[in-house]
Amino acid sequence: MAPIDSDDNTTAGEGEELRAGRRKAARYVVPVAVMGVAAATIGLVPALADSGDPDLPKITAQQLIEKIATSDVEQMSGTVRINTDLGLPDLGGLESGLLSGMSAGPGSGGDGEGSAADPSAKLTELVSGSHTLRVAADGPDRQKLSLLENAAEYSLVHNGEDVWGYDSKSNEVYHSTAPADEGRPGRGTPDKDVPATPKDFAEQALKAVDDTTSVTVRGTAQVAGRDAYRLVVEPKQDGSTVSAITVAVDAETGLPLKFTLTPASGGAAVVDVGFTQVSFAKPDASTFDFTPPEGAKVTESDTGAKAPEHGRPAGGDLAGELEGLKVIGEGWNSIATFDTGARGGLPTGSPGGDLGGLGGFLGSFGDQVKGDFGSGTVFKTRLVNALITDDGKVYAGAVTKDALVKAADAAR
Amino acid sequence: MSRADVRAETEGAAPGRGGTRSPSPLWSLGLLRSELLTTFRRWRTLALLAVLAAVPVLVGIAVRIETGDGSSLGGGGGGGEGPAFISQISNNGLFLVFTALAATLPFFLPMAVGVVAGDAIAGEASAGTLRYLLVAPAGRTRLLLTKYATVIAFCLAATLVVAVSALAVGALLFPVGDLITISGTRIGYAEGLGRALLIALVVAASLVGVAALGLFVSTLTGSGIAAMATTVGLLITVQILDQIPQLDALQPYFFSHYWLSFADLMREPVYWDDLVKNLGLQALYAAVFGSAAWARFTTRDITA
């Protein structure tokens, strides 16, 4: 180990040189070993930390659903990780531009309605990619939802009558009032259009439960350090693109902690929303205090209802605007169908508004199909498929391509 | 204070690593002091620090001119362009510290560190002074540790130069007072200053990985310029690779991947996950490339 001696090779004999050479090589073992230990730690620690599934008393699916329904967690805070992989082509900036374009409407960019702090514009971003959220709630009147971004944050604070949206990146504030008599907004996400917490997702999923669905309790899991039951919701029919929905329900409080939607095509979950950290202690009262910072641009909403009206994601308006929207089938295999009236395949004046100009562009993503109904184009995502026939009819649903073609044939 | 930190570090690391002749700790302190003096007296180092100090001045003046008529930066709906926190500067001068660090961290700071680290051993070798350094009874391990400590002292000094310059410019050009965290909560000016200091320390710690990488490159070659160019080249390459979405499986292991996580210190409550990942990653780079530099430097033939 005497470093100063290592250049005394002028006197070294041949054997010594060989030994010195070996000693030199041995030193390089150190960085390699450090790297090996690091790699092993990165690989093994999550595996070791996974201490197996907790032992919990048996519970029936019915009891568990009741537990979720009666769950009354008033005070909690935590960090939620949302991953959505709808299998849409990765359009990068175009995608987010599209989303904000659709939700912010024509007013965006001007100094009128298009505030960067508008909740509906902001929460639409959750539809794709990975996001980290923080939620805090203290009773029905005080909630906070923060969307953590790179070196910025979007906060939505509901405190009593006020709903504040604050976008730190653009330093803009959005303010609306939620009248007390109008009923309380959803817990955790005031004034929301998009579900954000595992609970929101679980409620949506359980709404769909009927006799086309099997609901079972399948084992237990650890989520965010808490013991939870795994509630598995599966479609009984064939032809759905949904393989299963798994909801991890906190054994103690009945709060859904994790929501996973796996597609029938296999692979990563389409939607994966779960707490990475959760606490049921009362959040600090200062969490819900908000006063607009000096110099921030404040956009006032005239009424609580105005913002969602102009900024609802295209899906909501679509159903309302189109006449003749019909639903074929039931349960998981429901297919929505409508006639755009536009002959010649891809509608150019598409109801999506901004999507219209992209018609031809989107066409390149579709598969051509033929059947008794004629021919058309199927657009596939990992969850929702849509068939647009050449005579302008649209069939869409969370079903496979074959099911869409069958539905189109039957409608003929 | 930077010197005190470094002193503690060398003292901690020295026992057990000494050679057959183990000089007293005081002796290594002398070596460290002379190294620090040589490094910080170099015109090149001073010029680098001057450039770093000028960045906040430029940003501050630009924002001041832009918002001089009372309009807010970024204007209407779009906003959010430019370095992080830039839209808040005109409301609170303290934000200039964060903006300046966010603007210099991706390139200026690591480039300066790369120049100093790349020069550490290779510069001595190309100047022909390395063998004289080794004639002194210091031992190669000890010399390497001293060099690394000097580079880390430079990381800290460079970051503090940016922060202090930004603090002064911010206080001169813009109002100061209570500030709003990016979570929308309000904290006092004193706590804001505390967080600014913490952020400066985290930024300095973020550079430890580049410093170790630069030191390793520096032991590979006998040319100071080659070592500097390689380090800065590696830095740019990693920064580019970090932008390619197809490489997202590898990106968490790039030393620059979590650099901007220092902004998480401005959340309320602080979001620690990425900060911890960043510091762990820097420690890993320091360990891997530090030991690789040691393996190379202690076995290589010194001819110059």
Among the partner residues A2, A24, A169, nearest to B299 by beta-carbon distance: A24
Provide the 10 A C-beta neighbour count for residue A242.
19
- A323 plus A307 within the same structural domain: no
The answer to whether the beta carbons of residues B64 and B174 sit under 8 Å apart is yes
- A279 plus A151 within the same structural domain: yes
The answer to whether B90 contacts A295, with C-beta atoms less than 8 Å apart, is yes
A281 backbone dihedrals φ, ψ, rounded to 5°: -80, 160
Taking the alpha carbons of A51, A52, A58, A64 in that order, is the dihedral positive or negative?
Answer: positive
Is residue A327 assigned to a domain? yes
- A351 plus A406 within the same structural domain: yes
Of A260, A285, A311, the one marking the end of a domain is A311
Nearest of B294, B291, B304 to residue B139 by alpha carbon: B294
Provide the pLDDT confidence category of residue A219 given band limits of 50, 70 and 90.
confident
The answer to whether A109 contacts B140, with C-beta atoms less than 8 Å apart, is no
The answer to whether the beta carbons of residues A113 and A186 sit under 8 Å apart is no
Is residue A54 assigned to a domain? no
Q: Quick one: tokens of A6?
A: 């290592």
Q: What is the mean pLDDT of residues A239-258?
A: 86
Q: Quick one: tokens of B296?
A: 């190379």
Is residue A78 assigned to a domain? yes
Higher pLDDT: A252 or B10? It is A252
Query: Which residues of chain B does A28 touch, with a Cβ-Cβ cutoff of 8 Å?
Result: 292, 295-296
Give burial (CB, 10 Å; 0-12/13-18/19+) of A167.
buried
Nearest of B226, B40, B33 to residue B118 by alpha carbon: B226
The CATH number of the domain where A241 resides is what? 2.50.20.10
The answer to whether A31 contacts B299, with C-beta atoms less than 8 Å apart, is no
Among the partner residues B19, B287, B291, nearest to A2 by beta-carbon distance: B19
Q: What is the mean pLDDT of residues B52-79?
A: 73
- A213 plus A274 within the same structural domain: yes
How far is Cα A227 from Cα A219, in angstroms, rounded to an integer?
A: 11
- A200 plus A334 within the same structural domain: no
* Cα distance between the two ends of chain B: 35
Q: What are the structural domain ranges in chain B?
A: 25-65+82-299
Q: What are the pLDDT digits (tens) for B221-250? A: 888 899 999 999 999 999 999 988 888 888
Of A261, A288, A311, the one marking the end of a domain is A311
Q: What are the pLDDT digits (tens) for B135-164? A: 877 788 888 999 999 999 999 999 999 999
Q: What is the mean pLDDT of residues A233-246?
A: 82
Q: How far is A200 from chain B (nearest CA, A)?
A: 23
Higher pLDDT: A254 or A52? It is A254
The answer to whether B87 contacts A171, with C-beta atoms less than 8 Å apart, is yes
Nearest of A222, A117, A110 to residue A163 by alpha carbon: A117
The answer to whether the beta carbons of residues B56 and B165 sit under 8 Å apart is yes
The yes-or-no verdict on residue B87 having pLDDT over 70 is yes
pTM for this entry: 0.75
How far is Cα A363 from Cα B105, in angstroms, rounded to an integer?
A: 43
The yes-or-no verdict on residue A19 having pLDDT over 90 is no
Q: Quick one: tokens of A19?
A: 């030994």
A395 backbone dihedrals φ, ψ, rounded to 5°: -120, 130
Q: Does B187 touch chain A (CB under 8 A)?
A: no
Q: Which residue type is seen at A147?
A: L
Query: Which residues of chain A does B267 touch, with a Cβ-Cβ cutoff of 8 Å?
Result: 146, 148, 153
The answer to whether B288 contacts A35, with C-beta atoms less than 8 Å apart, is yes
Is residue A204 assigned to a domain? yes
Interacting residues of B281 by C-beta distance below 8 A, sequence separation 6+: B209, B252, B253, B255, B257, B258
Its domain, for residue A29, covers: 3-49
How far is Cα A397 from Cα B253, in angstroms, rounded to an integer?
A: 40
Q: Does A30 touch chain B (CB under 8 A)?
A: yes
Q: Does A41 touch chain B (CB under 8 A)?
A: no
Q: Does B289 touch chain A (CB under 8 A)?
A: yes
How far is Cα A387 from Cα A407, in angstroms, rounded to an integer?
A: 10
Largest CA distance in chain B: 70
A334 backbone dihedrals φ, ψ, rounded to 5°: -60, 135
The yes-or-no verdict on residue A281 having pLDDT over 70 is yes
Of A266, A295, A311, the one marking the end of a domain is A311
Q: How far is CA B81 from the centre of its chain?
A: 24
Instruction: For residue A263, say if its preceding peptide bond is cis, omega within 30 degrees of 0.
Output: no
Which of B66, B94, B132, B183 has the most A C-beta neighbours within 10 Å, making it the best mutation to test the interface with A?
B183
- A258 plus A356 within the same structural domain: no
Is residue A56 assigned to a domain? no
The answer to whether B294 contacts A27, with C-beta atoms less than 8 Å apart, is yes
- A205 plus A279 within the same structural domain: yes
- A105 plus A238 within the same structural domain: yes
Pairing between strand A297-300 and A172-177?
A: parallel
Predicted pLDDT of residue A264: 83
Provide the pLDDT confidence category of residue B194 given band limits of 50, 70 and 90.
very high
Q: What are the pLDDT digits (tens) for A135-174? A: 888 888 888 888 888 888 888 888 888 888 888 888 888 8
Q: How many domains in chain A?
A: 3
Query: Which residues of chain A does B183 touch, with a Cβ-Cβ cutoff of 8 Å?
Result: 146, 153, 155, 168
The yes-or-no verdict on residue A251 having pLDDT over 60 is yes
Predicted pLDDT of residue B73: 53
Predicted pLDDT of residue B72: 53
Is residue A273 assigned to a domain? yes
The answer to whether the beta carbons of residues A222 and A54 sit under 8 Å apart is yes
- A363 plus A242 within the same structural domain: no
- A251 plus A116 within the same structural domain: yes
Q: Does A170 touch chain B (CB under 8 A)?
A: yes
- A113 plus A227 within the same structural domain: yes
Secondary structure of chain B in HEC code, one letter for each residue? CHHHHHHHHHHHHCCCCCCCCCCCHHHHHHHHHHHHHHHHHCHHHHHHHHHHHHHHHHHHHHHHHHHCCCCCCCCCCCCCCCCCCHHHCCCCCCHHHHHHHHHHCCCHHHHHHHHHHHHHHHHHHHHCCHHHHHHCCCCHHHHHHHHHHHHHHHHHHHHHHHHHHHHHHHHHHCCCCCEECCCCCEECHHHHHHHHHHHHHHHHHHCHHHHHHHHHHHHHCCCHHHHHHHHHHHHHHHHHHCCCHHHCCCHHHCCCCCHHHHHHHHCCCCCCHHHHHHHHHHHHHHHHHHHHHHHHHHHCCCCC
- A66 plus A137 within the same structural domain: yes
Higher pLDDT: A386 or A340? It is A386
